[in-house]
Structure 1
Amino acid sequence: MNTESDKVEKGMGFGIGGGLLYRIMMYVLLILFALFFLLPLVWMVVTAIKPFEEWLMPNWIPIHPTLDNFRSILDDPTLPVGRWFLNSLIIAVIFTVSILIIDSLAGYAYARLEFKGRNLLFGLLLATLVMPGIMFLIPNFITIARLGWIGTFQGVIVPGLSGVFGVFFMRQFFLSIPKELEEAAYIEGASEFRAFISIVLPLSQGALATLAIITFLDSWNSFLWPLLVVGNVREMQTLPVGLATLQGQYTFDYGKLMAGAVIMTLPVMVLFLLLQRYIIQSIAMTGLKG
């Protein structure tokens, strides 16, 4: 006699035969999705190693593969790609670390601390999420201009530290952590800050890793704000701003553009590979009940 669960599984097509068919369909869909996202990356790499004569040829395997495109942008004294790369890396790392510190502290305050007007202030913060970032472009530029920060790293980094998404993200994660863990630390004589450092943060590695990737990617790919702040200072340009100079008004150097895009993509891929374990752990923990 079949149980109710067996009937449900068979009704949904999850019997022995249906389960196999379901798994096959899922694998096929996952492979198709993977190809959909990987093909642009593959085409970028392929174009980067194509010689000039093959740029517009629709072949996926270069007939005469070459690294001349990489050599031309790395050896050209008028294109300080190494300096641009270092500038982007410095800005992205400082920005990411600062966001993790500020947003984790602010998120914990809104999640755990009781103070007058907390909910009102948090509601006002959330209201700013619906405002387009372009609204703050001119006020921020005027502010850093008066501070004398045009053409500097702090001019690129500081205005972005007021972002609200990270505060909201960390607050929601902290709310999912049982408060009893911190109360046990209070009984042992720990302060709120000690409980935050010793208990809450170690449990938040997945959330911090996720926020780090989002923040690093946002800073690394940022174009408009760095263009306004350091666009006229060649040595202070970031990689996206510098690579944009390879695109002329009437001509496109596809080989150099794709070679630069490959160089620009590598740090993000390395960061994701280093932190993906924590992200998977964070996703898995969200399904735990207790």
Structure 2
Amino acid sequence: MSAKSASNRSVGSGTNDRLLQWLAGIVLTLFGLMMLLPFIWMVLSTFKSESEVLSIPPTLWPNAFTLANVKKLFISMNFGVYLGNTLSIVVFSFVGMFLNAMAGFGFAKYHFKGSKALFYIVLATMMIPGQVTMIPVYLILNAMHLTNTMIGIVLPGLVGAFGIFLFRQFMVTIPDELLEAGRMEGAGEFRTFLQIVLPISKPILSVQGILTFIAGWNSFLWPLIIANDEKLYTLSVGLSLLKSQSNQNFALQMAGATLMVAPIIIIFIIFQRHIIENYSTSGMK
């Protein structure tokens, strides 16, 4: 009887656990939908007329899809210029990511006099807020006549301590024997870095690539400070101007916000597998 009662208790316990799992899943799904609802409404409002956006009660699905808001962004609001500037910053940011990878490889695999002290100095710069260095950097670029130029916008953010740190920590785990084998085959240091180190570093490259894209895509404060010409503004700055210039046109603002957010979500969806692989690899180590 005791064995039978224990068996009944285990069956009942398993049923209760499954019931709690289903209940938790339903609650989390409802909360997830509630959090996604404003974002979905913003995206769908891009394709609504202004009168429909302001209608009470609000509608989720557009009664009639229209691209008028998107066309107005690129024709009347110079968002084509802002988009081009933002993409230029993103491209230069990826060049900077490659330089960060090279620096991280150097700190990880080359031991020279003062290398540790230099690496600690690089790490120490992470503790300095970016707002503190903006004025000195602006004065330096102004003395070099690089203000109000694209070079002045991208140059200060070309390399960063955080990126160097991430690459260094990952590349330390690469076996030295693998690099020595490449050198014995006649590969130079740069070729070893390109053909051996970078393919192995694919997980951290994916993670850092997403962070680099987001930072470049969302560039706002520094372009606003360094650029006086509207032709050098980025999408973030343009979206801020759009809010002040058309504070009553909410459909147009929803279109601008969607243009800012959608590429980041698409990039994350594409590369999320590599992020999970990177975390899994780090956990196994």
**TM-score interval (norm. to shorter):** 0.7 to 0.9
1:48 maps to what in 2? 46
Q: Which residue of 2 aligns with 1:254?
A: 250
Instruction: Render the CA deviation track for 1:139-166: whole Å, top value 9, x for unaligned.
Output: 1111221222222211110011242110
Gaps of 5+ in 2: 1-9
Higher mean displacement: 195-204 or 278-287: 278-287
RMSD: 2.8
SS where residue 274 of structure 2 aligns?
A: helix
Q: How does 1:224-239 map to 2 (within 5 A)?
A: 224-230=221-227, 232-239=228-235
In 2, Cα distance between the equivalents of 1:152 and 1:89?
15
Is the 2:220–2:236 Cα contact (8 Å) retained in structure 1? yes
Correspondence 1:176-187 to 2 at 5 A: 176-187=173-184
TM-score by length of 1: 0.82
1:10-53, Cα deviation, whole Å (9 max, x unpaired):
8xxxx854764575466447635743653342132133233323
2:34 and 2:176 map into 1 onto residues whose CA distance is 43
Counterpart selection for 2:268 from 272, 277, 280: 272
Instruction: Tell me the percent identity.
Output: 36
Pairing of 1:1-290 with structure 2 (within 5 A) = 16-17=14-15, 20=18, 24=22, 27-28=25-26, 31=29, 34-35=32-33, 38-56=36-54, 57=56, 59-62=58-61, 64-67=63-66, 68-76=68-76, 79-95=77-93, 97-230=94-227, 232-248=228-244, 251-289=247-285
Structure 1 residue ranges without an equivalent (≥5): 1-9
Deviation at 1:221, TM superposition (A): 0.6
Task: Tell me, in whole angstroms, the C-alpha distance in 1 between the residues paired with 2:40 and 2:132.
Answer: 37
Q: 1:36 to 1:162 in 2, by over 3 A?
A: farther
After TM superposition, give the deviation of residue 194 of structure 1 in Å.
3.2
CA-to-aligned-CA distance 1:150-207 (integer Å, 9 cap, x gap): 2221111001124211000111111233333223334444444333222211011111
**Amino acid of the structure 1 residue aligned with 2:192:** A
- Please say which of residues 67-76 and 204-213 is displaced more in the overlay: 67-76
Contact 1:246 1:253 in 2 (8 A): no
| Change in 2 beyond 3 A, CA 1:269/1:197 | same
- CA shift in 2, pair 1:185/1:225, >3 Å: same
Change (3 A) 1:26 1:131: farther
Q: Distance in 2 between matches of 1:179 and 1:17?
A: 53
For 2:34 and 2:115, locate their aligned partners in 1 and report how far apart those are by CA, in whole Å. Answer: 44
Cα pair distance change 1:234/1:35, threshold 3 Å: same
Return the offset for 1:137.
0.8
Aligned residue pairs, count: 273
Query: Are residues 28 and 139 of structure 1, via their aligned partners in 2, closer, same or farther at CA, if it must alter by over 3 Å?
Result: farther
Q: Report if the CA contact (8 A) 2:122-2:161 is conserved.
A: yes
CA offset at residue 93 of structure 1?
1.6
